[in-house]
Amino acid sequence: MILGRHDEGGTLRQLWRRTRSRTLPQICFFCGEHNADVVCSDCANALPVIDASTCPRCRLPSTHGQLCGRCLKRPPVWDTLITRWHYAHPFDSVVLAGKYRHTFSLYRWCAEHLFDAGASWPLADDALLIPVPLAPSRQQARGYNQAALIAHEVARCHDLRVADDALIRLRETGVQQQLNWTERRRNVRGAFAATRPLDGVAVVLVDDVLTTGATLNEAARAVLAAGARRVDALTLARVDPPRRRDRVAKFGRAVA
C-alpha cells in the first residue's frame, strides 16, 4: 500500500497533532523534567550529532565532506545516506526504546529533527520511502516494524509517500548483532525482493540504524533490480565502525 501526499485535511490534522504534543504536559525522555516536547532542548543539544562535513555516502569522517577513501574503493549500493545521530550514549537509548518499549513518540521527534534548523529535504521531491522489512516471524513477535513507523513519521514531516509492502524478505535471516562484518554481508545476501516494478522511481530505504550497511546494500540491490532510477538510504543513527586493531582483537583478523 502506498500512502500519498497530504491533502489539506491531512495537513490540518498534522498541525493539530504537533500543537497538541507541544501543549499537553509531558516529560523529557532523557532527564524526566516537564517539557513541551518528548525531548527538552538541553538534552537534544547533548545528543551525539554527526558532523555535517562527512562523506555523503556513508556519513563517516572525510575531508571537506567529500567522498571518503572507503566509498571510493568500495562504494555502497545506495547513493546518499541521510542520518543525524551517532549510535552512542545517550541516543542509543532512543533506538532501543522505540524498538522494544513502544516509545513511538520518539520517532516523531526524530523525524522532525533529522536535519539542521532550516534545512530542506535533500533528496528528490517525488521520493518514495520504503521501510526495510523485518523477517515475518520477527515482526509477528514484535507486532510492528520500527522502520515502517519511522518512514511514516518522516513522510508526515516532509510530505512524502510511503510504500509499506514494496519490499519483502525472501527468507529468514539470523540476528545481525551476533555476526561480524563479513558474516553480516553473507547473512543477508539475496534476502530481499521488490513486490512490484519501480521503473523510474527515486527510492529512499528507511531503517532505524546503519551498522555495516549490509542489510541496506541488499535492499538497495533489490529495488534497483526492480527498475528504480536511484536509491538513497535514511536512518536515525549510524554505528561508528570499530578500529582495525579492535576488529583484530575481536575476530582474530581485520574483517571488512
Taking the C-alpha atoms of residue 122 and residue 100, their distance in angstroms, rounded to an integer, is 30
More confident residue, 121 or 29: 29
Other beta carbons within 10 angstroms of residue 200's beta carbon come to 10
Residue 206: Cβ within 10 Å count: 29
Predicted local confidence at residue 75, as pLDDT: 95
pLDDT for 187 beyond 80:
no
- pLDDT above 90: percentage of residues in the chain: 62
At 236, the pLDDT band (50, 70, 90 cuts) reads: very high
Tell me if 203 sits within 8 A of 127, measured CB to CB: yes
Give the phi and the psi of residue 115 in degrees, each rounded to 5: -120, 160
- pLDDT for 19: 55
Q: What is the pLDDT of residue 248?
A: 43
Q: Give this prediction's pTM.
A: 0.82
Walk me through the domains of the chain, giving residue ranges and CATH numbers: 2-12+53-251 (3.40.50)
pLDDT at res. 117: 56
pLDDT digits (tens, 9 = 90+) for 39-91: 999 999 999 999 888 999 999 999 999 999 999 999 999 999 999 999 999 99
What confidence category does residue 247 fall into, taking pLDDT thresholds of 50, 70 and 90? Answer: very low
Residues 240-245: what's their mean pLDDT? 69
> For 87-96, how does the pLDDT look when each residue is reduced to its tens digit (9 = 90+)?
999 999 999 9
